[in-house]
Every structure is written in C-alpha cells, then in structure tokens.
Structure 1
Amino acid sequence: MRIAVTRSFVEHVRRQQPWVSSLCDHLLEPVVETLRYGVADMTTLAEAFPRDTIMHVLGLPQGDREHVSTLVTDIFPTSGPLPEQDRDGTVAMRQLTAYLQGEVARRRRAPGDDLMSELVRAHTACPEALPHDELVSILTGLTVAGYPQIAAGIETGIVLMIRHPEWAVFLDDPVRARMFVDEVLRYDAPVQFTPAPRIPARTVVLGGVTIPAGAQVWPVLGAANRDPGVFTRPDEFWPGRGEARHLSFGGGAHYCLGAELVYLEMAMLLRRLRQRLPDLAQARPPAQRVGRLRGFTSVAVMRTEADRHDR
C-alpha cells in the first residue's frame, strides 16, 4: 500500500513544483521587505511554507488551514512534551480523522486534480489494495507530518546556513543543496523521538541492557544520527560527508512517505533565501524549542549590508 501511495505522492509533488516555487516567492516577498528596514523572525515563513504546501497538495481548502493547524498542534505539539509526559491528542485526532473522511467523501462526489482525489480513485478502483481505513490513515499521517516537522527543519537549516557560511555555498547547486538538507536533518533531527514507542514481542538484550517483552522503548533518532560508530566527527556540521544515511526519515517499510516533499521544500526555500538575502545574520541568538520537535521558537535575522534594497 505504501509503495503504491508513495509513487502517486512523488509524481504529484513533482507536478506541483511550479506552484510550490510560486508560493515560495510569494511568502518570501514580505520577509525581504521587512529586512530592508529591520529585523524579521523567520519562524513565520518556516511554518507558512510547508503548511500551505501540504494543504494545496492534498487539495484541502485554504480557508480551513487555521482549523487544521490547531488540530495538528494538539496531536503533535511543537513544544513538549517529552515521551513520558502526558498529553492527550485523542480528541484532536478523532476530529482530524472525521474532517478528512468528509473530504474523502467530497472527492468521491466531485474529484479534482489533487493528491487526495488520486488516492480516492485508487481506492475506488481497487479497494482491497487500498482499503478506506488505510486511505484515511495515510492522509492523516501526511497532514500531521506535513508541516510542523518540515518547519522545524527549515528553521534549523536557516540557523545553520548563517552559522556556517563555508557550507552554505552548497545551496548554490541543486544537487549539493540536497546534501545540505540531508546534513541538517542528520545534525539536528526535527523529530528527536519516534512518534510512538516500540514494543518488543519477546525479551531482548541490547547493549547489555535487558528489555522485557511488552516494555515501551522510545528510540531516540537524534542520538542515532550522532552515533560515533557510524559517522565521522558526528558533532560537526559537515554537508556532503558521504557516509551512512541518517534516520530522520526512518527506514525500511516505514521510510517517510513525504521525504521527497521535505527535500523539495527545504532545498527550495534555503536556496531562495541565499539568492535573495545572501547577507543574512542573526539579530539575536535563536530560541531553541524543547520537546519531541526540534527547531526554534524564534529565529530573528537581519541584513548586514548598508544598502538593504532587494537585489
């Protein structure tokens, strides 16, 4: 099911690239204008770009974005909690699922050219290959993961681009820009913990520690991406390191369905920022977010040139 959906997703994202590019330029304009005279907080841009993109890709009405944003935040809070802390996103998940089921029903009556319509057509043509419940589950996953995590990656990418101008040159080339994004995702993974615990079916021993059957285990992706047994000088930001793949997209059958969209959005926005605002500097230290989701709650930037007129 995931293979079939992934193929449709990637093809649809590639077809939407001109629209995404236009959105990127549109959202960048007020930032450029603000930076002619003062300081801009890049978190607004980092959140708006992936949010509006996933809404468009799925075909969700832009007028619903605040409603959807509120539900997603309740399901996957952008700040805290850590795995052992309690937060009940069950009600929000039920509401989001009901909302998406309504959108699926609407596509059955009047399909469009969006990804949701494509998946509804696939379900109608072969319901045993893509059951209704799985269709809604996949749409829910794409919506929940579609922008908070990407926004966190963009925020981190902007900070690292400013801190490491020697590596920011990678953004001048489309191929190496993807390498830059990969290293951002390895160096400071947007999602530090897996979204749900892993539960061993039998007692296992890992690293000399006994984990009993039925226990909850929270893998820390951020730690895996800094494993000194896998990565050379893991605590250094080093694009193009040419080593093992990071685990920020997971792996195997559960490899991130939206990985191609992450690469597209992060590389596009970071490249445009470097092209339009090559003299960006931190206006003050960024405020690191704490919890399952990394990134920053504030990324204040300014321009260093005396003449701040847009190039």
Structure 2
Amino acid sequence: MEEWNMKKFLAVCLCAALAAGTLAACGSNDGGASGGNSGSAKRTAKVIDIDLTDEEYAFGVDKSQPELLEQVNSFIAKIQEDGTLDEIFDRYFGDGEPQPVESAALDTSKDQLVVATNAAFEPFEYMEGENYVGIDMEIAALLAEELGQELVIQNMDFDAVCLSVGQQMCDIAMAGLTVNPEREEYVTFSDTYYQASQRLIVPSDDTTFDDCKTKEDVEAKLAELTSDTKIGVQQGTTGNSYVEGDESFGFPGLNATCQTYKSGSLAVQDMLNNNVQYVIIDAAPAEAITEAINALQ
C-alpha cells in the first residue's frame, strides 16, 4: 500500500514534466500564433459536417483494479438508465447549464479517486478559472460521490493520460478516449458511454469540400493532398492517428504533412494564421472550438 501511495504521489511530478515537454511526432508546433497572415483576425473557420470515422468513447481503468472496473461499468449503466447521462449531455449539447467541478489536492492519506485528464478538449473536459468543466468531469464528480471517495483531477498532456494510469499513478483516465488496442496496453476500457467521430475543420472561405456529400467524397479529396498541405491535429488523439496512419485504428494515413499541437484550439488558430491548411479533430470539440474562435474574430 505504501508503494501504491507513492506511485500516486508521483503523478503530480509526471503531469508537470509532461505538460512542460516539447511536442513530438510529425512536424510538431508549439501552437504559437507567430507568422501567417496579419489579417487573420478577421478569418473564421467551419466544420465539414460529415463523419470521417465511427468511434466509441470509454474510460480507461487501472488494470490492477478490476473491482474499480466493475464499479465504473455499474455506474455507467446506472446513469444511462436513470437519465443522468442524458441530463449531462443536455448541459453541453442542449440548453442546460454546465456544472463546474472542483478537484481536491492529492493526499495519499485520504481515500481518493485520482482521475487523469487533458482539460483542453471541450466539451468533454476544459477549464473555467480553477474549476474543471465538461461531460467527463461531471461524470467523474458523480462517480467519486458514488464510490464515497474524494475526487482528485490530474491535468496533463493527452498522450500521457493512459500512460499515467498504466503506471498506476492515477486510477482512471477520463479524457474523451476512443477505444483502441494501442491504449489497451495501458488501461482496461470500461463500457462505452458516447459515440464519436472525426471531422474536418477548414477556413470558412475554403470551398474544397463544399460539394462533398459522403465520407467517401471527403476521403477522396483528402487523398489528393500532397506533403505540401499541412493538417493540424491535437497530439496523441485519434485525429493524429487518422492523418499519420495507424493500423490499430485501421487508418491508412494521408500524404499531407501532420502538424501536432497541444490542443485543438491552437491548431485551429494556427490554421487561421495560414500556418496549416486544415484541422482534423473529434466532432464535438470541432464544433465547440470553431464556435468559440469565430466569436472572437
């Protein structure tokens, strides 16, 4: 137990180190707004309303805690059956009001549920001041209450979320996670709670995909792109895998150059600065990001 608590305590160090790390993978970018068109403040973005993938979100549970997995699955079934999950969805996709979630400080002397997340993925997890907000964060708060534990949220880079759970530094990953075999090396996935997909974001004045009616139409256009075209993605996400190619997802990859960012918002802003041509990210964040950025233009 002492070793287990020490591993949890090290989570803080891991989060800080990874958050400060530089971006990796294909053509990384620190997400700065340098360069590009000086008139980019007037540009806006739009989402191509066609699903490129068919995915399922689930929570990633520590492999050494099978009892927690059972509790999580029972809880998912409960909130699906009693309508609680739909109420949470309505707060982000409908007319409801999001509920901020507070995180306690990590304290190994207490009975705590330690959640790994990346709070740059609206509407599933993001920050408002010092509070966490989002679908996953509200579920996390209710789960901790159900288990009679104090909630601790550890915010880190997305590609560290499953790793931190796999190293037993956190109990569960709740970060808009698409189920795939590669991530199952680190966590055991819960039952699914949300159907997701990838979508393409383009500048509003780009008409390349305007005539597309189906997924195949968009894929055909994307297949024509060369390495001269840059596509922005959030590092470590399914969008990253879609552009680079990933056998575990069944993605062949694109010929375009992949540009990684710490968040989808930074990728879209850089697109409007003419540093990348397109962005690929999950559908719900795509809508939230473009709406927020367009409102500022």
TM (norm. structure 1) is: 0.27
More strand by share: 2
More helix by share: 1
Higher CA-based Rg: 1
